[in-house]
C-alpha cells in the first residue's frame, strides 16, 4: 500500500475511533494518546500533554515520541505489553512511569486498546498517579514513625520497671520508687494519646462519625483544657477571654482539638516561651486561638500540615515529635462542626492556630 494512502487511512481511523472516546478525550480527566507502535504519538489530548509537560506544538513538530517519554528500564516491559495488545486487543492497566519534559518522572497507570490490527493503530489511556504514590510513600513513612513512637515509650517503661523492681529489692528510697512509677505513668499517657489518635484516624477515614451536638460554651471548654494542661506541663499557658461564646458542638471533641493544638504549641516551641490561648467571637463565629513563639511553619508547609501523615522534618530541633495525624484529626473534627481550622505563621517567630465554629 502506498505510504501516503496508509497514513491517510490511519488518520481517518483514528478520527473515527477517537469519536468513540470523544467525551472522555475532551473531558481531559484522563490522558489519551493514539499510537502506530512505531514510536510515534499520533494524537493526544490536553490531559496527556499536561501530564508530561509537552505542548501541542511539540507533538505536531514530532518532538514527542514514546521513546522520549519512556525511561529505559521500561523497554522490555513495554515490548511485552505490545505483544499482549496484539494477542488480546487490549492491555490490562499497569503501572509505569513517563519522563516529564523537565526531567522528573511521572508515575502513571496505563492501559491500551488496539484500534486496528492491520493498520497497527492503538489508543493508550494514562492516569497520573503521582498523588497516590506520594500517599503510599507517606503511609510507609507513617508506619515507620508510628512503630518508633510505640516502641520508644515501651523501652522507657521497661527500663523504669526494671529500675523499680531493683529499687524494691534493694530497699531504695520511697522518692526513687515514686519517680520510676511517675515516669512509667507518663509513658502510658503518651502511648494512650497515640493509640487514641490512631483509632480516631481509622474512624474518620472509614465513616462519618456522629457527634452528639449541644450548645457548649467555648470559653469554658478552652479554659478547662488550659487548666488541665497547666497542671501537667512545665510551660506557662496564658488564657485570654472573658465573654461566654456559645457554639453548637461536641465538648469532648472540641476539647480534643484544643488539647492537640496546645500540645503542639508546647512541642514545637522552646521551653520558657509562653503559649497563649485566646477565646473570642464576632457576629458569626466563636474562635479559639492557640499562639506559640516557636519555630514557625513555612508557607508551603502551612498548606500541607493538615494532610494525613504530614510531618515537617525539624531536623532534631525538637525530640518530642509525633506521627503527623493530630492536625489531620483536629481539622476533620472542626470541619464536621461546620467550622474551620487554619494557621498563620512566621518562620522563626511562631504560629497561631485558629479554630472557628459557627455560633449556636
Ligand atoms: P505530629 O504528631 O507530628 O505533631 P501533627 O499532625 O499534630 O503531627 O502536626 C503535623 C506537623 O505540623 C508536625 O510534624 C509539625 O512539624 C508541624 N506543627 C504542628 N504544630 C506546630 C506548631 N505549633 N509549630 C510548628 N510546627 C508545627
pLDDT tens digit sequence for 60-86: 998 889 999 999 999 998 889 888 888
Residues 224 and 280 grouped into a single domain: yes
What are the DSSP calls for 336-356, one per residue? Answer: TTT-EEEEEEETTTEEEEEEE
Query: Under 8 Å CB-to-CB from 179, ≥6 apart: which residues?
Result: none
**Structure confidence at residue 234 as a pLDDT band (50, 70, 90):** confident
On average, the pLDDT of the chain sits at 88
In the listed set 128, 144, 169, which residue is the last one of a domain according to the structure? 128
**pLDDT over 80 at 165, yes or no:** yes
**Shared-domain flag, residues 228 and 295:** yes
What would the mean pLDDT of 38-42 be, rounded to a whole number? 86
Atom 27 (ligand 1) nearest CA: 268
Which helix H or strand E contains 252, and what residues bound it?
helix 251-267
Domain boundary among 128, 161, 180: 128
Q: What φ, ψ does residue 345 adopt, rounded to 5°?
A: -155, 150
Count of CB atoms situated within 10 Å of the CB of 102: 7
Instruction: Give the mean model confidence (pLDDT) for residues 198-212.
Output: 73
Q: Is residue 324 within 6 Å of ligand 1 at its C-beta?
A: yes
Are residues 96 and 202 located together in one domain of the fold? no
pLDDT at residue 103 tops 70: yes
Percent of the residues in the chain that have a pLDDT greater than 70, as a whole number: 92
Write the pLDDT tens digit of every residue in 307-345.
Answer: 888 888 765 565 556 778 889 889 989 998 999 999 999
Is 175 found in the same domain as 260?
yes
321 lines ligand 1 (CB under 6 A): yes
Three-state secondary-structure class, residue 275: strand
Nearest Cα to 60, choosing from 44, 48, 39, 36?
44
- Whole-number pLDDT of residue 232: 81
Residues 102 and 145 in one domain: no
Beta strand 41-44 with 31-35 is antiparallel
**Does residue 166 share a domain with residue 262?**
yes
As given in the structure block, the three cell numbers for residue 52 are 508530561
Q: By alpha-carbon position, which residue is closest to atom 13 of ligand 1?
A: 311
Residue ending a domain, choose from 128, 150, 166: 128
Range of lowest pLDDT (33-37, 128-132, 234-238, 351-355): 33-37
Task: Supply the CATH number for residue 301's domain.
Answer: 3.30.565.10
Report whether 41 contacts 59 (CB < 8 A).
Answer: yes
Residue 322 Cβ < 6 Å to ligand 1: yes
311, 316, 341, best to mutate for ligand 1 pocket (most atoms within 8 Å of CB):
311
Q: Which pLDDT does position 200 carry in this prediction? A: 78
If you count DSSP H runs as helices and E runs as strands, how many of each does the chain have, helices first?
A: 12, 12
Q: Which atom of ligand 1 is nearest to the CA of 311?
A: 14
Q: What is the mean pLDDT of residues 121-130?
A: 91
| Distance from C-alpha of 107 to C-alpha of 123, rounded to nearest angstrom | 19
Ligand 1 atom 2: the closest Cα is on which residue?
A: 322
C-beta of 305 in contact with ligand 1 (< 6 A): yes
Quick check: 210 pLDDT over 80? no
Where does the pLDDT of residue 119 fall: very low under 50, low under 70, confident under 90, or very high at 90 and above?
low
Task: At 145, list the grid cell.
Answer: 514513625
In the reported structure, the alpha carbon of residue 312 is separated from the centroid of ligand 1 by a whole-number distance in angstroms of 7
Q: Residue 136: is its pLDDT beyond 90?
A: no
Q: Residue 262's pLDDT band (boundaries 50, 70, 90)?
A: very high
Q: How confident is the model at residue 207 (pLDDT cuts 50, 70, 90)?
A: low
> Is residue 280 predicted with pLDDT exceeding 80?
yes
Contacts of 142 (CB under 8 A, 6+ apart): 309, 323, 324, 325
Query: Would you say how long the chain is, in residues?
Result: 360
Alpha carbon of 136 to ligand 1 centroid (Å): 20
Categorize the per-residue pLDDT at 352 as very low, low, confident or very high, splitting at 50, 70 and 90.
Answer: very high
Q: Which domain holds residue 48?
A: 3-128
209 pLDDT band, cuts 50/70/90, is low
Identify the CATH number of the domain in which residue 21 sits: 3.30.450.20
Query: Does ligand 1 lie within 6 Å of residue 194's CB atom?
Result: no
Sequence-distant (6+) residues with CB within 8 A of 65 are 39, 40, 41
Judge if 13 and 69 occupy the same domain: yes
- CA 266/CA 193 separation, integer angstroms: 15
Which atom of ligand 1 sits closest to the CA of residue 310?
A: 10
The reply to whether ligand 1 has any atom less than 6 angstroms from the CB of 256 is no
- Helix spans in 296-351 (H): 299-302, 326-335
Number of structural domains in the chain: 2
- Report how far residue 6's alpha carbon sits from residue 13's, in angstroms, rounded to the nearest whole number: 10
Output the pLDDT for position 236.
94
**Ligand 1 atom nearest to 325, measured from its CA:** 6
275 within ligand 1 shell (Cβ under 6 A): no
- Residue 8 pLDDT more than 80? no
- For a substitution probing ligand 1, which of 300, 315, 327 has the most ligand atoms within 8 Å of its CB? 327
Percentage of the chain beyond pLDDT 90 is 54
Whether residues 199 and 333 fall in one domain? yes
Does residue 2 or residue 252 have the better pLDDT?
252
Ligand 1 contact via 325 beta carbon (within 6 Å):
yes
For strands 275-281 and 237-240, give the pairing: parallel
CB-ligand 1 contact for 311 (6 Å cutoff): yes
The predicted model gives 3-18 an average pLDDT of 71
Counting atoms of ligand 1 from 1, which one is nearest the CA of 329? 6
* Pair (225, 335) in one structural domain: yes
Same domain, 121 and 145: no
- Residue 194 Cα to ligand 1 midpoint, Å, equals 14
Of 20-29, 32-41, 105-114, 190-199, which one has max mean pLDDT? 105-114
Nearest to 49 by CA among 67, 69, 35, 21: 69
Q: Indicate if 139 and 123 belong to the same structural domain.
A: no
Q: What is the pLDDT of residue 212?
A: 82
Report yes or no on whether pTM surpasses 0.75. Answer: no
Grid coordinates representing 88? 488480546
User: Best substitution site from 152, 304, 305, 315 to test ligand 1's pocket, by max atoms within 8 Å of Cβ?
Assistant: 305
Q: Which long-range contacts (CB under 8 A, 24 or more apart) does 107-111 make?
A: 107/132, 107/133, 108/31, 108/51
Q: Is 149 in the pocket of ligand 1 (CB under 6 A)?
A: no
Mutate to test the pocket of ligand 1, among 304, 324, 332 (most ligand atoms within 8 A of CB): 324
Q: Residues 282, 339: one domain? A: yes
Amino acid at each position: 500500500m502506498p505510504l501516503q494512502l496508509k497514513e491517510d487511512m490511519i488518520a481517518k481511523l483514528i478520527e473515527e475511533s477517537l469519536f468513540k472516546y470523544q467525551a472522555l478525550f475532551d473531558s481531559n480527566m484522563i490522558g489519551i494518546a493514539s499510537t502506530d507502535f512505531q514510536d510515534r504519538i499520533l494524537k493526544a489530548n490536553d490531559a496527556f500533554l499536561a501530564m508530561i509537560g509537552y505542548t501541542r506544538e511539540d507533538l505536531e513538530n514530532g518532538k514527542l515520541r514514546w521513546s522520549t517519554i519512556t525511561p529505559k528500564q521500561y523497554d522490555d516491559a513495554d515490548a511485552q505489553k505490545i505483544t499482549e495488545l496484539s494477542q488480546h486487543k487490549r492491555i490490562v492497566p499497569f503501572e509505569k512511569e513517563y519522563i516529564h519534559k523537565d526531567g522528573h518522572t511521572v508515575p502513571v497507570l496505563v492501559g491500551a486498546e488496539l484500534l486496528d490490527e492491520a493498520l497497527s493503530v492503538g489508543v493508550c489511556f494514562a492516569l497520573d498517579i503521582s498523588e497516590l504514590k506520594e500517599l503510599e510513600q507517606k503511609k510507609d513513612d507513617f508506619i515507620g514513625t508510628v512503630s518508633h513512637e510505640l516502641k520508644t515509650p515501651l523501652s522507657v517503661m521497661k527500663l523504669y520497671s526494671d529500675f523499680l523492681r531493683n529499687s524494691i529489692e534493694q530497699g531504695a528510697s520511697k522518692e526513687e520508687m515514686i519517680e520510676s512509677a511517675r515516669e512509667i505513668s507518663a509513658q502510658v499517657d503518651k502511648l494512650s494519646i497515640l493509640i487514641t489518635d490512631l483509632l480516631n484516624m481509622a474512624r474518620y477515614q472509614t465513616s462519618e462519625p456522629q457527634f452528639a451536638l449541644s450548645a457548649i460554651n467555648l470559653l469554658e471548654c478552652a479554659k478547662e483544657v488550659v487548666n488541665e494542661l497547666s497542671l501537667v506541663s512545665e510551660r506557662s499557658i496564658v488564657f485570654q477571654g472573658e465573654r461566654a461564646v456559645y457554639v453548637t458542638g461536641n465538648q469532648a471533641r472540641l476539647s480534643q482539638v484544643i488539647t492537640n493544638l496546645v500540645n503542639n504549641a508546647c512541642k514545637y516551641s522552646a521551653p520558657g516561651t509562653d503559649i497563649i490561648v485566646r477565646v473570642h467571637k464576632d457576629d458569626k463565629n466563636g474562635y479559639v486561638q492557640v499562639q506559640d513563639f516557636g519555630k514557625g511553619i513555612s508557607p508551603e508547609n502551612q498548606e500541607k500540615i493538615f494532610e494525613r501523615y504530614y510531618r515537617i522534618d525539624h531536623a532534631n530541633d525538637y525530640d518530642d515529635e509525633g506521627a503527623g495525624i493530630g492536625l489531620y484529626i483536629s481539622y476533620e473534627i472542626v470541619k464536621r462542626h461546620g467550622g474551620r481550622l487554619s494557621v498563620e505563621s512566621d518562620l522563626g517567630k511562631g504560629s497561631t492556630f485558629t479554630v472557628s465554629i459557627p455560633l449556636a
